Chains A and B, each alone.
Chain A
Amino acid sequence: MWGVLASFGAGLLFAGYELPRLLRAQRKKEAVIFLMFLAIGITLCVLHALAVPLPSPYQWLEVIYGPLAERIFAMLQ
């Protein structure tokens, strides 16, 4: 629960810090990209705080490179 609140709080804080400057300078595109990244960040943080199982990047690496790595190690033993 605290994690979720902290994630939203941090997100709001960051948006409040960066956005006014951007909007004043009419840099709308940059504001959109910033918000996109922020949304991804908040989503990840909230999901993680709620202990939702998320995929691990290392597992993808295992899937992609595992067979090749096994062959290399078979050669080196």
Chain B
Amino acid sequence: MERGRISAQQLMIMMVLFVLGDTILVLPGSTAMLAGKDAWISGLLTVAAGLGLIWFYAAFQKRFPAMTLVDVSVNLLGRWLGGAVSFFFLFGYLLLLAASMLRVLGDFMTTHVLPNTPVQFIYLLFLVISVKAVRSGLETIARTAEIVFPWVVMLITLLIMFVVPQSRLYHIEPVMAEGIKPILAGMYIFLAYAFMEPVAFYMVMPFVRLRQGKGLRKPLLLGSGMGGLILVVIIFFCLTVFGPVITRESIYPSYLLAKKIELGEFLQRIEVIMAITWLFTLFFKLIISFYGTCLGAAQLFKLKDYRLLTLPLAMILMVLPDLLAPSVIGISEIGQVYPLFDWTFSVGLPLCLLLVQLVRQKMKRSRSSEEQGALPQKGEPR
């Protein structure tokens, strides 16, 4: 299937890029819509809660080493039920995630950068390199991530450095004036978008080459923690530069932030250079979920080569983003419902699988103790 192996460091970098993903572009707006001026607090709380979630993913993967989520569910639930569950995970969740990435990208490009270009051409161009990336395999994706990562970090650092002078703390005062409920509402969407969508890494984590005694936990936690903190910083500066109202009303507050960059008279209008940041991060979120879909489908249908499915799935991905919603507004409205979808697959599904495994182990143990005859624990209630 996949012969490539990636290192723990590469996993960490991919995790940072994935967590930033489309969220760096849209999350400040949607979190501020729910949490108002306290969005940054709900961001901080979310990072804490999200690290717990990531810890759970690592623990799950440790229980089933060298198995993707598809392997695990087929092994535990059987060919048919497990196959159906994996089918929904792959073509319901991962493919839809990839389509959503394309849609966010297409909306952004057509509204801000290339207003006269039909959106299909933007999808097409992006899909061509995505297919190329997925066909090249996981190792290539990981190495590309290593090349791209410093640029993303540098651009984000520049962005933040340049807007610091324009931030005014009175925009976010008084802190927590509306109580805890808006903060929780902000967490609801932030947690799902930033820390539940990395469930796509269940298709990548089995291919991480680990050194003796090292676990997946450290790179995953470091990567997602770093990504999450960057998001919080960006939300914080969106709020302090624009105030909660503009942040809430705009669809791409980070882009608005980039437009604010001004160094004297000579360094202006460099927002499109800043936009490279989310082109990169969106690209990685897209290809990792696309890769997961192809690999998982190949495992599900027992194909020798997952590359076979890249081209047909790319054709489906040409259409799917357009179908999602009629307009940009529809895309941001789905933010109320989509987190629950994330919950189902990132927490619900692994928990169910763990439960099944526990029950099976117990049944096996009680059966084997019955076979051995009169053992002392036989009569014990379990």
Enumerate chain A interface residues (CB-CB to B < 8 A). 7, 10-11, 14, 17-18, 22, 27, 30, 33-34, 37-38, 40-42, 44-45, 47-48, 54-58, 61-62, 64-66, 68-69, 72-73, 76-77
Contacts and interface: CB of A to CB of B under 8 A. Distances in A.
Contacts of B330: 58
A35 to B, nearest CB: 9
Contacts of B184: 76
Contacts of A41: 312-316, 318
A55 B324 CA distance: 8
Contacts, number: 95
Interface in B313-333: 313-316, 318-320, 322-325, 330
Given A33-B303, A34-B312, A45 B323 contact: no
B64 interface: no
B374 interface: no
B151 interface: no
A72 B188 contact: yes
Contact of A56 (B185, B308, B323): B323
Nearest to B344: A65
A76 B181 contact: yes
Contacts of B324: 56-58
A37 B313 contact: yes
A45 B312 CA distance: 11
A55 B309 CA distance: 23
Contacts of A64: 341
A46 to B, nearest CB: 9
Contact of B337 (A45, A69, A77): A69
Interface string B222-249: 0000000000000000000000000000
Contacts of B334: 58, 61-62
Given A66-B337, A73-B185, A44 B319 contact: yes
A39 B312 CA distance: 8
Interface residues of B, number: 34
Chain B at the A interface: SS class: helix
B139 to A, nearest CB: 22
B274 interface: no
Given A44-B316, A57-B96, 5 more contacts: A14-B311, A37-B316, A45-B315, A58-B325, A65-B341
Contacts of A7: 315
B304 A44 contact: no
A40 B311 CA distance: 12
B312 A30 contact: no
A65 B337 contact: yes
B340 interface: yes
Given A30-B304, A34-B309, A11 B315 contact: yes
B80 interface: no
Contacts of A73: 185, 336
A34 B96 CA distance: 20
Nearest to B312: A37
A30 B185 contact: no
Given A27-B304, A56-B323, A17 B316 contact: no
A76 to B, nearest CB: 4
Contacts of B337: 58, 61-62, 65-66, 69
27 contacts: A18-B311, A27-B304, A30-B305, A33-B301, A33-B303, A34-B309, A37-B312, A37-B316, A38-B311, A40-B316, A44-B319, A48-B318, A48-B319, A48-B322, A56-B325, A57-B99, A58-B325, A61-B334, A61-B338, A65-B337, A68-B340, A69-B336, A72-B340, A76-B181, A76-B182, A76-B188, A77-B181
Contacts of B320: 44, 57
